[in-house]
Amino acid sequence: MSPVFKAVWFCILLICADFIAGLLIAHKKGGLNFRLLPKFLASEVLPYIGGLLILSFIAYLDPTGAIAGILAVAVTSYGLKLLADLKDKFNVWRGANLDYTALDYPGPPHIPR
Contact 94, 40 (CB under 8 A): no
pLDDT tens-digit series, residues 54-109: 888 888 888 777 788 888 888 888 888 889 888 888 888 787 766 555 555 555 55
For residue 28, what are the domain limits? 3-103
Whether residue 111 lies inside any domain: the answer is no
Tally of structural domains, the chain: 1
User: What is the spatial distance between Cα 23 and Cα 19, in angstroms, rounded to a whole number?
Assistant: 6
Q: Which ranges constitute the DSSP H helices of the chain? A: 3-29, 37-40, 46-61, 66-94
Whether residue 61 lies inside any domain: the answer is yes
Q: What are phi and psi of 54, to 5 degrees?
A: -65, -40
Whole-model pTM: value is 0.74
Contact 89, 18 (CB under 8 A): yes
pLDDT tens-digit series, residues 9-50: 888 999 999 898 888 888 888 888 888 888 888 988 899 899
Contact 6, 57 (CB under 8 A): no
